[in-house]
Amino acid sequence: MRVANLNGRLVLVEAEVAFDVATWSNGRFGPDPQGVFAHWDEFRRWAGTASEGSGPGVKIVDDDLGAPVPRPAQVFAIALNYRQHADELGYGLPASPATFTKFPACIAPPNGALELPSGMVDWEVEVVAVIGRHAHHVPAADAWSYIAGLTVGQDLSEREVQFRPPLPQFSLAKSFPGFGPIGPVLVTPDEFHDPDDLELSCTLNGETVQRSRTSDLIFPIPVLVEALSGIVPLLPGDLIFTGTPSGVGSGRKPPRYLVSGDVLVSAVEGIGTMSQVAIETRKDG
Ligand code: ZN
């Protein structure tokens, strides 16, 4: 099953066509894309049996898509979760998931303009896992049943703030407006041949800068659920940005950062692509 946020309303997606859930379900499920996660298991059962009678669908226009999870209560993100990425930044392999948050106000639609607050904005394509059931002390073996689905994410990062003394400020540096685009759709785990082995990639102005597979994750998604839920209860609709592979701009010599006009395209196999166009921050007055 694939769901999306079309003009602020929850839709089921089949072959680029959207069906409005509130209309189709006669109000059993509301239109709010965030609200559905409180009833995710019930929604999945209904969606699995619902057919026809939905009226004609609407062809999806990319600019009408919002974040499929627009207002998560908690957003977890993992640093250094691919070996080559840990190498390019000069770190050793972590013994446990290195975790920070992206403040939820940074969550953004999958396509659109990205305002650059400085000349040190970097890209990080990631697979984002969405929690579908309250999860506390969940063992990795059971973890996939707590995942509503996967989506594409960009963990955009302002590197000056991130490493500003006296202590690194990962969470602030990765939470400027627009720094958490996700989408274009949320795909349930059963849709993938192997949800633990998906290709993810990122291009900058058509040049591939990142390409890897989630089978290279140091801590795979079920292990992240076990580790995080062992400390913090994970809530329906929470996000986990699972980490970025090698190829970020700050790992290059010399470093490369986004400049106005750059087109960043992020993709995950079986989910889709997102596109950001970098623009200079508007200076008011
Ligand atoms: Zn990241």
What is the spatial distance between Cα 202 and Cα 7, in angstroms, rounded to a whole number? 26
Identify the helix (H) or strand (E) that includes residue 46. helix 40-49
Distance 65 CA to ligand 1 centre (A): 23
Pairing of strands 125-131, 239-241: antiparallel
Tokens 């509130």 belong to residue: 22
Distance 41 CA to ligand 1 centre (A): 29
Distance 243 CA to ligand 1 centre (A): 5
Q: Where are the domains of the chain?
A: 2-60, 75-280
Name residue 139's amino acid: P
Distance 241 CA to ligand 1 centre (A): 7
Instruction: Say how many C-beta atoms besides its own lie within 10 A of residue 14's C-beta.
Output: 12
In tens digits, what is the pLDDT along the chain, a chain of 285 residues? 999 999 999 999 998 899 999 999 999 999 999 999 999 999 999 998 876 555 679 999 999 999 999 999 999 999 999 998 888 888 888 999 999 999 999 999 999 999 999 999 999 999 999 999 999 999 999 999 999 999 999 999 999 999 999 999 999 999 999 999 999 999 999 999 999 999 999 999 999 999 999 999 999 999 999 999 999 999 999 999 999 999 999 999 999 999 999 999 999 999 999 999 999 986 665
Distance 108 CA to ligand 1 centre (A): 16
CATH code for the part of the protein at 75-280: 3.90.850.10
